[in-house]
Structures are given as structure tokens and as C-alpha cells.
Amino acid sequence: MEATLDISIVVPLYNEEESLPELMAWIDRVMQAHAWNYEVIMIDDGSKDTSWKVIQQLKSSFPSLRGFSFRRNYGKSAALNVGFEACRGRVVITMDADLQDSPDEIPALYAKIMDEGFDLISGWKRKRFDPLSKTIPTKLFNWATRKLSGIHLHDFNCGLKAYRYDVVKSIEVYGEMHRYIPVLAKWAGFTNIGEQVVQHQARKYGTSKFGLERFINGFLDLLSITFVSRFSKKPMHFFGLLGLIMFKVGGFLALWLVTEKFYITYFLDERAPLVTQNPLFYLGLLSMILGTQFFLAGFIAELVSRNAPDRNRYHIKDQTDV
């Protein structure tokens, strides 16, 4: 499927009935001012209020609006993935529905993609209107993500982002991976990633839908995606190497204990203590057992990887027919 519009704006939402009319009118003003062909895709993530009814009502005033409604709350990642599958714009913009992301930022983000050639631009809310209970963990989270991913962004979790069409069609957002879309994009081969300072609006309606547990889950997801991105196609390189190292450590300890007993018995002519009385014996035995288990885990993971349906899925940038 080819891009047929200038811009697609993907808006995941949950219980945002009050902000939707104002947000849609604001987006439309910006789009009309630049004469862009556009669509807005709103994904209602199982809202308990009248958000879906509001979307249906807005459709009559804004023909460019498209809506999807989940039967239950699946999370932001699922909503974004549906939006990415449905979008048709050469540039795809994501933003939250709570009016904390300003549609006035869209022209600058669009220019970054179309004029400067970036694959992905992430918003950076340099000045935030959040309490310290959110800003401090966010800084730690962003620092850890930079170190593990090698992507130098200040604000990975900013909802306001711009993507080239090919990027959103090449990645799959699942679980809680919406925080790591830049990492997924880099994994898919889109390395021209930048950021743009954007304005953070104070929340006008409702309350935040995220608690502090998102930082714990986010860190676990970061470890998961870091491992998957590096070793999903070659798990034996991780488990096998770790198992080999541990087995060698255990083997070295066992050889040391046997050599020590032999030396004491035959060269010093003394009664050597039992090998099993030395704590190093149990440490070496444990190391060899764990090494064997890691090696077997790598072997099994390799078999699973080789039989995965996407084992030969590669992202082709361009081609020429012969």
C-alpha cells in the first residue's frame, strides 16, 4: 500500500471525552492553514466514558476523521499499532488526546521529515508541567534507554512524534513497547533519528492515566527489547557463550581441586581432605550445571528461532527491477 495523503495523525485515547472536540478543531485549523491533505485516526482504547460517541459525532463535521473502538482496554501500544496499520499519509504524526501535545508543532515536525530527510523525529518536552514524582523517574528512564539503545534522545516517551511512512509500516508495536518506538525503528534499519523541542501544555481536562508502575514495567521492557533486538535471530550467541563461560569456570575449579588433592597426596605425602569438603567443589558443580542449562536453552531457542515465521523477514529500502 502506498501513501496517498500528506499527513496522517494517529491519536490513541482513553477516557478523553472532554478534550476531543477541541483537539479535532485545533488539528483541522493547522491542516487547513497549510492546505494539507490529511486524516486523523482516533483509536478509542476501551474508554468507559462517552469518548466513542464523541468521535462518531465529530465525524459529521470532520470527514477526514477515522475512528476505531476497542472492546476493552488493550493499552497504548495496541492502539498505535492499529493506527499505523490504517494510516495513509507520507508523514505520520502521533500525539496524545489530552491536549498536552500541541498541534501547532506539526508543521515543524513535518518539515523535519520531508525537507531534512529524517526517518523519525521525537518530541522533547524540555519544560514540563509534571510533578517531581514523574519528572525524576522520567529522567532516569531516559538516561538508561540512551545507554542501552545508543540513541541519543532526551525524551523517548514523548507522545508527539513524526515518522516517515515506511517506518510505521516496518515496525510492530506490542505489549508496552510504545515507549521504545525509536529503538524498534533503529532495529528495522531506520537510523536517521532526531528530536525537536516541543511545548508541553498543562493538562486541561481529566487526570493522567499512568501511574508510577509504568517506570518499573518500562525498565523491564527495555531489557526485553534490548535482548530481542540483538539476539532474536541468534540466541545461541548469547546463551551458548554464557553457558560455555560458566562451564569452563566450573571445569577449572574441578581441575584445580583434583590437582590440589593429587599434589598433597603424592608430593607432600600427606592425607588430603575430601574434595567434597571444599566449598569450591559445590561452586564448580553449580557452575557446570548452570552452564549446561544455558547451553541447552540456547540450543532450544535456536530451534525456535529457525522455525519462526518471520525468520527471513528483512526490511528492503529500495529495489530496481532487472
Q: What pLDDT sits at residue 1? A: 66
pTM to 2 decimal places: 0.72
Positive or negative torsion for Cα 243, 249, 250, 254? positive
Contact call for residues 12 and 80 (beta carbons, < 8 A) = yes
Distance CA 308, CA 232 (A): 10
Q: Map grid coordinates 511545548 to a residue.
A: 199
Q: What pLDDT sits at residue 200? A: 76
Task: Identify residue 155 by its one-letter amino acid code.
Answer: D
Phi (first) and psi of residue 176, to 5 degrees: -120, 30
Q: What pLDDT sits at residue 312? A: 46
Q: Which residues contact 87 (CB under 8 A, 6 or more apart)?
A: 8, 10, 39, 41, 165, 168
255, 256, 260, 261: CA torsion to nearest 10: -40
H/E element holding 40? strand 38-44
Phi (first) and psi of residue 259, to 5 degrees: -65, -40
Phi (first) and psi of residue 267, to 5 degrees: -105, -35
Q: Which of 28, 58, 55 lies closest to 43 in space, CA to CA? A: 55
The set of cell numbers assigned to 318 is 529500495
Phi (first) and psi of residue 15, to 5 degrees: 55, 60
Phi (first) and psi of residue 37, to 5 degrees: -80, 125
Distance CA 97, CA 201 (A): 12
Q: What pLDDT sits at residue 276? A: 77
Q: Backbone dihedral region of 269: left (phi > 0), alpha (psi from -120 to 50 degrees) or beta?
A: left
Residues of the chain with pLDDT under 50: 312, 314-316, 322
Distance CA 33, CA 106 (A): 12
Distance CA 168, CA 153 (A): 19
The set of cell numbers assigned to 159 is 507522545
Beta bridge partners of 41: 10, 66
Q: What pLDDT sits at residue 263? A: 78
